[in-house]
Amino acid sequence: MTLSNEGELARALDVPDLRNLSDEKKLEIAAMMDDIAEPLRSQLYDLIPGLRDAALEAVTAFERIYGLELDANDKNQKRLHDSLESTRSAIRDRLQREELSAEQEATLLAALARVDELAARKDTENKAFIADQARETRRGVALVQIGVPIATAIVVLGAQALLKSGNLRLPR
């Protein structure tokens, strides 16, 4: 649905008009930019005080949140794999003991298999996380390809990230 005038946009936001909007409503507008017709989109920055700041904050938030998510993911993956390797090493050390019974050996081998299964499951989850990040990036690229300027695409994604995170405070 393309919003082509102030009235349609105000109804979509469930506000009487576009003046004196809260920070949250400004971010909602920023998140909706790809649904707003270009002539109205251009007018909004002059029409709504603080929208330009909200858009800039959305761009900054997108960069910050995206970077933090990927960094946190990398650190979590490293900690997990270090921990799993430590567990594998402890199990291998125990398997080297000559006094192990067949039952103890079978138990240790089963534990080693469970560690490997967990590693595989976590790798699959990580790949899904990275795929989600790539999907968001492709969405931004698609917005550009259909004629939404790159700045607008980043504003949309950043505003959506801010709204999701609940961080609705904009700089004054």
Q: Has this prediction a pTM greater than 0.85?
A: no
> pLDDT higher for 108 or 53?
108
Residue-wise pLDDT for 27-76, tens only, equals: 788 778 778 888 888 788 777 777 777 766 766 776 777 778 888 888 98
Residue-wise pLDDT for 114-154, tens only, equals: 999 999 999 888 888 888 877 776 665 454 444 445 456 55
Domain range annotation of the chain: 6-165
Q: Which residues contact 91 (CB under 8 A, 6 or more apart)?
A: 108, 111, 112, 115
Can you tell me whether residue 155 is helix, strand or coil? helix
Supply the pLDDT for residue 153.
56
Angstrom distance (rounded) from CA 164 to CA 158: 10
Instruction: Find the mean pLDDT for residues 88-95.
Output: 93
Residue type, 91: I
Supply the pLDDT for residue 44.
80
